[in-house]
């Protein structure tokens, strides 16, 4: 039996899994599949970033600053007996980066 250790992070939560395979070939095929999917995701993210930048070329190490303005909310459900005090949580890469006061 062969095993592959898979580490992943989703929405800020880390997971480690040990997967057992009957043969080296099955373990290698699985590892190759995971690496292929990882590369596809990285390419998809890079393509989205190029599209969002509209042809602007970033220098190595250059940082993009995002300004997000929370304008309004509508049709929000009542959370307690008489009213709602909604707020917005902004996440980046699965980590909370900002939480508004109630809007």
Element spanning 38, H or E: helix 24-53
- pLDDT value of position 103: 61
- In tens, the pLDDT along 37-57 reads 999 999 998 898 888 888 888
What would the pLDDT profile of 45-98 be if each residue is shown by its tens digit? 889 888 888 888 888 898 888 888 878 777 777 777 777 777 888 887 778 888
CA distance 74 to 90: 18
């Amino acid at each position: 039996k062969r095993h592959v250790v898979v580490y992943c992070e989703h929405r800020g939560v880390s997971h480690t899994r040990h997967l057992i395979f009957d043969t080296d070939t099955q373990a290698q095929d699985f590892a190759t599949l995971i690496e292929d999917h990882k590369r596809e995701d990285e390419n998809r993210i890079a393509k989205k970033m190029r599209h969002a930048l509209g042809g602007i070329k970033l220098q190595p190490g250059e940082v993009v600053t995002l300004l997000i303005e929370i304008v309004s909310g509508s049709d929000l459900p009542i959370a307690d007996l008489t009213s709602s005090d909604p707020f917005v949580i902004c996440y980046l890469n699965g980590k909370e980066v900002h939480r508004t006061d109630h809007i």
